[in-house]
Chains A and B, each alone.
Chain A
Amino acid sequence: MRSNDSTVPRAVSKPPRKPRGIRQTMSDLHIWAGLLVGWFLYAMFLTGTVSYFKDELSQWMRPELAHQSEVPDPALVAQRVASQLAILAPGSPQWSIGMSDARNNTANAFWRKPGVQGRAFENATFDPSTGHKVAARETPGGEFFYRFHFQFHYMPVLWGRWLAGFCAMFMLVAIVSGVITHKKIFTDFFTFRWGKGQRSWLDAHNALSVFGLPFHFMITYTGLVTLMALYMPWGSDTAFKTPAERQQLTAELSAFIQPAKPTGQKAALAPIDDMVRQAQARWGRDNINRVTITHPGDAASRVSVSRGEEGRASMSPQYMLFDGASGKLLSTKDSVGPAAETRGVLYALHLGRFGDLPTRWLYFLVSLAGTAMVGTGLVMWTVKRRQKLPDPDKPYFGFWLVERLNIAAIPGLSIAMAGMLWANRLLPVDLLKRGEWEVHAFFIVWAMTLLHALLRPAKKAWLEQLWLAAAVLALLPLLSVFTTHRPLWQSVAAGDGVFVGIELMLWALAALHAVLAIRTSRHAAKLRPSRREAAGRSAATASAGEAA
């Protein structure tokens, strides 16, 4: 039945080969496309999965901020933050304020640095009830995993995005070739079973791939769409030669209005809350996303108030444009062209911000399955080839490399992510550049897992890292008890769904790693006798080397 069980790839130098069938070539393409970028894809998938709850994670990482039982009125929040920005960045030509909402107990803002050439921005996080900067530990919160997901770190943003796009394109090819290879994908729909050894890895990979296929295909294609202006600028560059012309396109994509030429004539910024109230009348009290203000304090000032993301499966711009000095409504953008709306829908599908809580959980679970799909694929590569190694203790370099990178990339990443949360709880609050140090901690821990994976015997490294991941995840709620004023029982008593949800999830993920560790140790314990004989070593040496 196993229709896509590939035979040993034939050595290139053998004379006349009969032409290989399409399923065989697609299988090879699938394996190479997956292997070459698999570690990046796994990291993108896992950080992306976690990002569906990034706002909740950010809350958990700022335990000083109280649980928000009611969402503050966005009109008031916008006004408060705007008043603060008048003190922080008075000369700036462009402010953009993001509202707090049911999932997010902070407001954020970024602004163009006044007097700096080119695009230089600063940002800050604000307490929605006062408008002042948050009085909480400096941390990137869940935003770090979100940004890492599509632009990585320690490299120019553009390079990171190109790398992500490159990997996404490989993923798209892997999906298409995977479907072609698995021709009986629908007739086989429920017939894969839990086999043994190599079979069970294939079955798991197949099941995870097939059951989540609509999601995996959608998430990959829409991921490319979110950055398509970067990857395929040619049409835009051909059609639009001047910035003014390019505005035609940007207006279809975003509510982030650009500053026009300032008049130099001073005019106080009209009350922001009145403008937001008009938008609330149109879209609902809590359905406000961002307020962008250009040239505050100048007569040429403009304010755009954009519609919230909930309940609307599209990111295409819908906003109300006001005159900043008088507060008068100038125009309302309600719709865009069909291609722009398609792009808006695809973008929204990727981010999944439109959904209610159950939908968000579905996104999270299926995305986690996608992560496991990539992981099982990577492991399967070594499992299949281990059978054919002449001496399992001295594999060829390619095998050795893949095996070790798998360890650092899979359980190693879990340990690193947990490590960042440990840093969030342990780093001194007044440490300089504390937020950056949380990120450094993530990478330092990850590097250590790589070192561990390179130095230890492979099976031991797998087990040790899986158990370590289980431990560091499970201990986080306990760590919170000792380092914060938000122990789990208090969160339960207070009805704080966010803190309870995060900490229970940490335990659930810890349990998952523990289960994987147990299965791995059982698998290591029973090895086929034929393999030991083929290796030509004594049974005693073999069992000593392979004991978990």
Chain B
Amino acid sequence: MIAALRRARDLGPLVSRIVAAVFGGYALAALSSIAALALPMRKPEAVLTGMLASFAIYAAAVVWVFAVRSALRAWMGLLVAAAPLLLAAWSVRAGGGA
């Protein structure tokens, strides 16, 4: 029982990073594709720009998550990156369509 708990504790950070990378990374990429709508260009162009860039953002997020020293830093980094994107996405929704 203790051994199992210890193993769970040791694996915890790894699992946390995997979640951050796979799901957090996707969420960040998806968020950025919505935030792209705030760019000063026609809607179809902004949509496509967001889509095109999203995979680079996803890949960068995954590399970040595994490069940093702790799972906590990994999540913090994702949240810090997400904050301005959330603002931009919010403004897009609030501002409505062009």
Binding site for B on A (CB under 8 A): 12-13, 19, 22, 25-26, 28-29, 169, 172-173, 176-177, 180, 221, 224-225, 228-229, 231-232, 234-236, 238-241, 245, 248-249, 251-252, 337-340, 342-343, 346
Enumerate chain B residues within 8 angstroms of A339, measured Cβ to Cβ: 41, 44-46, 48-49, 52
Which residue of B46, B54, B69 contacts A239 across the interface (Cβ within 8 Å)? B46
Docked-complex contact A232 and B67, CB < 8 angstroms: no
Q: Scan B50-65; emit 1 where CB is below 8 A from any A CB, else 0.
A: 1110111011001100
- The answer for the CA separation of A180 and B63 in the assembled complex, in Å, is 10
Enumerate chain A residues within 8 angstroms of B34, measured Cβ to Cβ: 234-235, 238
Which residue of B44, B45, B55, B63 contacts A224 across the interface (Cβ within 8 Å)? B55
Which residue of B52, B54, B56 contacts A343 across the interface (Cβ within 8 Å)? B52
Chain B residues bordering chain A, tally (CB within 8 A) = 38
Which residue of A25, A232, A252, A338 contacts B54 across the interface (Cβ within 8 Å)? A232
Q: In the complex, which residue of chain A has the Cβ closest to the Cβ of B97?
A: A239
Docked-complex contact A340 and B59, CB < 8 angstroms: no
Which residue of A13, A180, A240 contacts B10 across the interface (Cβ within 8 Å)? A13
Is B37 among interface residues, defined by CB-CB distance under 8 A?
Answer: yes
Enumerate chain B residues within 8 angstroms of A19, measured Cβ to Cβ: 69
Binding site for A on B (CB under 8 A): 6-7, 10-11, 14, 29-31, 33-34, 36-37, 41-52, 54-56, 58-59, 62-63, 66-67, 69, 89, 92-93, 97
Docked-complex contact A169 and B63, CB < 8 angstroms: no
Q: List 21 A-B contacts (CB under 8 A).
A: A13-B10, A26-B66, A28-B66, A169-B58, A172-B55, A172-B58, A172-B59, A173-B63, A224-B55, A228-B52, A232-B33, A235-B33, A238-B93, A239-B37, A249-B48, A339-B46, A339-B48, A339-B52, A342-B52, A343-B52, A346-B52
Docked-complex contact B51 and A228, CB < 8 angstroms: yes
Q: Binding site of B, secondary structure by majority: helix, strand, loop or mixed?
A: helix
Docked-complex contact A337 and B55, CB < 8 angstroms: no
Which residue of A12, A240, A342, A343 contacts B43 across the interface (Cβ within 8 Å)? A240
Taking the nearest CB of chain A, how far is it from the CB of B29, in angstroms? 7
Enumerate chain B residues within 8 angstroms of A239, measured Cβ to Cβ: 37, 43, 46-47, 97
Q: In the complex, which residue of chain A has the Cβ closest to the Cβ of B48?
A: A339
Give the 7 A-B residue pairs with the shortest CB-CB distance, closest first.
A339-B48, A235-B50, A235-B33, A339-B45, A228-B51, A235-B47, A337-B45
Enumerate chain B residues within 8 angstroms of A236, measured Cβ to Cβ: 47, 51
Contacts known (A169-B55, A232-B30, A240-B43); A25 close to B48, Cβ less than 8 A: no
Enumerate chain B residues within 8 angstroms of A172, measured Cβ to Cβ: 55, 58-59
Docked-complex contact B10 and A248, CB < 8 angstroms: no
| Of A29, A172, A235, most B-chain CB atoms within 10 Å | A235
